[in-house]
Chains A and B, each alone.
Chain A
Amino acid sequence: DIQMTQSPSSLSASVGDRVTITCRASQSITTYLNWYQQKPGKAPKLLISSASNLETGAPSRFSGSGSGTDFTLTISSLQPEDFATYYCQQSHSSPTFGPGTKVDFK
């Protein structure tokens, strides 16, 4: 199985901050990388697919980049509704998720 890691595991930020979350795969997954947002008690929501394709309806302040083994999710200006946990997931082979990054209020 391909292993996924994320950093940081949690971060504290303020509204308006630029936030960057990184995800690393244990081997090259080209751009088979998806990002999900999950709020407490809710199902995950697909935000970005294929490393950089923003899902329909997702705010443009979210962006993704990377290829190979290293990927980044960026929130350009954090909004109150963005406080959540973010997971990366590789889809190069049988799916695996990263451990998550919790974004909370500073």
Chain B
Amino acid sequence: QITLKESGPTLVKPTQTLTLTCSFSGFALGTVGMGVGWIRQPPGKALEWLALIYWDDDKRYSLSVKGRATISRDTSKDQVVLTMTNMDPMDTATYFCAHRRPGLGDSFDFWGQGTLVTVSS
């Protein structure tokens, strides 16, 4: 059974760096086809994909956060980390991590519960 859970600060100040951790179980990120993505959702708004790391350590980023976001993995701990620099109040959102279904195209079949991050001084 695949599970994912996000952890990190609930409040960050503008200009600070956000570090979120996705701890997962039920799959090995190193297995061909696997991946973990980060998706966020501002309060009352739509989903926005941010970043994705693949089984071969390839990484992709949304243009909206490219240059500010870094996704990495710790295969020994079954964790994926998202770091975002220079946080702004507009980055206030619930951040989800999700399992990429192996195969053609990036769909997300298992999701964490999400963690709300508020950016405020």
Would you list which residues of chain B between 23 and 56 have a CB under 8 Å from chain A?
37, 39, 46-49, 52
Total A-B pairs, Cβ < 8 A: 61
CA distance A32 to B19 in the complex (A): 31
Interface string of A37-53 (1 = CB under 8 A from B): 01000011110011000
Closest to A29 in B: B105
Q: With A43-B96, A43-B111, A43-B113 known to touch, is A97 a contact of B105 (CB < 8 Å)?
A: no
Is the C-beta of B10 less than 8 angstroms from some C-beta in chain A?
no
B105 x A92 contact (CB < 8 A): yes
Query: Is A34 an interface position by the 8 A CB rule?
Result: yes
Picked from A1, A38, A44, A91, the residue with its CB within 8 Å of the CB of B106 is A91
B17 → A minimal CB distance (Å): 23
Tell me the smallest distance from the CB of A37 to a CB of chain B, in Å.
12
Q: Which residues of A contact B105 (CB under 8 A)?
A: 32, 34, 50, 91-92
B89 to chain A, nearest CB (A): 21
Contact B48 A97, beta carbon cutoff 8 Å: yes
How many residues of A are counted as interface, with CB atoms below 8 angstroms from the partner's CB atoms? Answer: 23
Q: How many residues of B contact A (CB 8 A)?
A: 24
Indicate if the CB atoms of B46 and A95 lie closer than 8 Å.
no
Main secondary structure of the interface of A (DSSP, over half): loop
Say whether A99 faces chain B, with CB atoms less than 8 Å apart: yes
User: A60-102: contact bitstring with B at CB < 8 Å (1 yes, 0 no)?
Assistant: 0000000000000000000000000001010110111111100
Known contacts A43-B112, A43-B114, A44-B111, A97 near B46 by CB under 8 Å: yes
A55 at the interface (CB under 8 A from B): yes
Interface string of A1-42 (1 = CB under 8 A from B): 100000000000000000000000000000010101010000
| Alpha-carbon distance between A89 and B41 when the two chains are bound, in angstroms | 14
Residues on A facing B (Cβ under 8 Å): 1, 32, 34, 36, 38, 43-46, 49-50, 55, 87, 89, 91-92, 94-100
